[in-house]
C-alpha cells in the first residue's frame, strides 16, 4: 500500500463521499489499485443523512436550466456536466440496480427513496473491483518526506501513494466528517483557498417574542420571495420555507441563499419581500378585500377573502402597521410585499453545504494542485456552490469522475 511499482501505481483517496467514491470507481475500472481513507467509522455519512427524507439524486429539468443553477462557477462546472450530467447519472444509478423516478417538482429520486441501498450496491461494486476502504483514518497532512500521515485507532501511520485525491467535503456538518481541517494544511502549502461560507442555509431575522412563541417551526407554504441583489437586479422565486426561532430556513430560502449572503456582506442586511398570496394579482386581491367586512373579525375576513391565516396572518400583522388593515388598497399591497430584513446567515456548521474552498485557479486541467504535483482535489471542498434539488450531488459526482480521469491521465504520463 505504500510504494507501488510503475505497473500498478497505488493511489490514495481521502474522503469517502460521492466525489471520492466516484474517483475510486474511475481509477479501479482503469486497473489502478485504490485505497480510500475516511475519518469516520463508516463511509458516506453525509450522503446517507442527505437521503434520510428521500435521496434527491439529480433534477430532470432541461440542461440549460440545470447548469444555470451553478451561478458564477457555471463555466467551470458545465463542461463536466456535459460529460456526466443528470442523464448519465441516472443511467449510472440504474446500472447499480436502483430504479429512479421523477417527482412532481422535477427532482429525481431512487424508487425506494433511500440512500442506503444505493450506497450498499456501490460499495459492493467497488470492493469487487479491488478498492480497499480504511475507516477511522483521520488525515493529518504530510510528514517531512511527503508521506501522508493518518491517525488511526492503532496509532499514527504514514502512506506514500503514487498520487493522492483529496475529497474532504466543505465545512458544514462537522459531526459527519466535513470539519474543514484541511484548510490550514493546504494553506500552509501555498494553495489558494477562498474563505468558507454557509450555503443552502437559514438566516437570522430577530422575531418578536410573540411571533417566535406562536410560529417557530411552522411551514409557510405557497409564497413568493423577491429581492433586489447587489447588482440591482430583481430576483423572484416561488416556493415554501419554515419560520424558525431565529429566522427563516427551507428550500425557498436555500435557493436564494447565495444572493442573500452577498447582500448581507455588502450592506449589512438583506431586505426581502414576501408575497403571501402569489396566486392573485394586486388588482384582484384589492377587489376581494374591498367587499364589506360586516360583522366578521379581521382574522376571519383575511381568511375568507384573501386566504391569509395561521402563520401568514401572524407574519402580516407583525410586519404591517395597524392602520393599513382599514384600507383595502394598502392591505392588498402589504399582503403582496411583506418586508422581512435578514440580519445574518446561520453558522457554517448548520448549513447544508458551503461556498468557498480550493480555488479552481489553484488546479490544472486534471484537477491537480499546481503547488503540489500528484495531489488532486474534487467535490465540495472546491470553490463552487449550488442550491439543493440534486444540483450539489450531481456536480460532486461529476467532479469526482473528472478528478479520477485526471489522475489516471497523470499516472499514465508519469510512467
Low-confidence ranges of the chain (pLDDT < 70): 1-9, 51, 414-415
Q: How far is CA 409 from CA 30, 100, 168, 197, 375, in A?
A: 10, 32, 22, 33, 13
DSSP H or E stretch at residue 319: helix 310-319
Q: With beta carbons less than 8 A apart as the criterion, state whether 41 and 135 touch.
A: yes
pLDDT of residue 7: 34
pLDDT of residue 51: 65
DSSP H or E stretch at residue 248: strand 247-249
Residue 137, all three cell numbers:
483514518
pLDDT of residue 388: 86
pLDDT of residue 4: 33
What is 329-365 written as a DSSP string?
Answer: HHHHHHHH-EEEEE-EEPPGGGSSEEEEEE-GGGB-T
Cell 405557497 belongs to 222
pTM of the model: 0.89
DSSP state of 325: G
Q: With beta carbons less than 8 A apart as the criterion, state whether 48 and 116 touch.
A: yes
Residue 48, all three cell numbers:
446517507
Q: How far apart are CA 24 and CA 66, in angstroms?
A: 26
Q: Which CATH number, 3.50.50.60, 3.30.300.30, 3.40.50.720, 3.40.50.1370, labels domain 11-198+354-413?
A: 3.50.50.60
Q: Dihedrals φ, ψ of 166, to 5°?
A: -95, 120
Instruction: With CA atoms as reference, report the closest residue to 186 among 408, 372, 384, 398.
Output: 372
Q: Any idea where the domains of the chain sit in the sequence?
A: 11-198+354-413, 203-345
Amino acid at each position: 500500500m505504500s510504494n507501488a511499482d510503475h505497473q500498478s501505481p497505488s493511489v490514495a483517496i481521502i474522503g469517502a463521499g460521492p466525489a471520492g467514491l466516484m474517483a475510486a470507481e474511475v481509477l479501479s475500472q482503469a486497473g489502478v489499485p485504490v485505497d480510500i481513507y475516511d475519518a469516520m467509522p463508516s463511509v458516506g455519512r453525509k450522503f446517507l443523512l442527505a437521503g434520510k427524507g428521500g435521496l434527491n439524486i439529480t433534477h430532470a429539468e432541461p440542461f440549460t436550466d440545470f447548469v444555470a443553477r451553478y451561478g458564477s462557477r457555471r463555466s467551470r462546472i458545465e463542461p463536466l456536466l456535459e460529460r456526466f450530467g443528470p442523464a448519465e447519472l441516472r443511467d449510472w444509478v440504474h446500472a447499480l440496480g436502483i430504479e429512479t423516478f421523477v417527482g412532481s417538482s422535477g427532482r429525481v429520486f431512487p424508487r425506494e427513496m433511500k440512500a442506503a441501498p444505493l450506497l450498499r450496491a456501490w460499495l459492493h461494486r467497488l470492493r469487487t473491483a479491488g478498492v480497499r476502504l480504511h475507516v477511522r483514518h483521520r488525515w493529518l497532512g504530510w510528514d517531512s518526506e511527503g508521506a501522508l500521515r493518518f491517525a488511526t485507532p492503532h496509532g499514527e501511520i504514514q502512506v506514500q501513494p503514487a498520487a493522492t485525491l483529496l475529497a474532504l467535503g466543505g465545512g458544514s456538518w462537522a459531526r459527519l466528517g466535513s470539519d474543514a481541517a484541511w484548510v490550514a494544511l493546504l494553506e500552509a502549502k501555498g494553495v489558494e483557498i477562498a474563505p468558507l461560507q454557509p450555503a443552502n442555509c437559514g438566516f437570522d431575522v430577530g422575531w418578536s417574542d410573540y411571533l417566535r412563541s406562536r410560529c417557530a417551526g411552522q411551514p409557510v407554504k405557497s409564497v413568493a420571495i423577491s429581492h433586489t441583489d447587489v447588482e440591482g437586479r430583481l430576483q423572484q422565486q416561488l416556493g415554501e420555507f419554515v419560520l424558525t426561532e431565529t429566522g427563516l430556513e427551507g428550500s425557498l430560502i436555500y435557493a436564494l441563499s447565495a444572493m442573500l449572503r452577498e447582500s448581507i456582506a455588502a450592506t449589512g442586511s438583506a431586505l426581502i419581500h414576501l408575497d403571501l398570496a402569489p396566486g392573485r394579482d394586486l388588482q384582484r386581491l384589492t377587489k376581494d378585500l374591498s367587499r364589506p367586512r360586516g360583522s366578521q373579525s379581521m382574522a376571519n375576513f383575511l381568511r375568507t377573502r384573501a386566504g391569509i391565516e395561521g402563520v401568514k396572518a401572524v407574519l402580516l400583522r407583525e410586519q404591517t402597521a395597524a392602520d393599513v388593515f382599514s384600507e383595502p388598497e394598502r392591505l392588498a399591497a402589504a399582503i403582496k410585499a411583506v418586508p422581512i430584513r435578514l440580519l445574518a446567515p446561520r453558522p457554517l456548521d448548520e448549513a447544508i453545504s458551503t461556498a468557498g474552498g480550493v480555488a479552481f485557479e489553484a488546479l490544472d486541467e486534471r484537477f491537480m494542485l499546481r503547488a503540489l504535483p500528484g495531489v488532486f482535489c474534487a467535490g465540495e471542498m472546491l470553490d463552487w456552490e449550488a442550491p439543493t434539488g440534486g444540483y450539489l450531488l450531481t456536480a460532486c459526482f461529476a467532479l469526482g469522475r473528472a478528478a479520477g480521469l485526471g489522475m489516471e491521465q497523470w499516472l499514465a504520463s508519469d510512467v
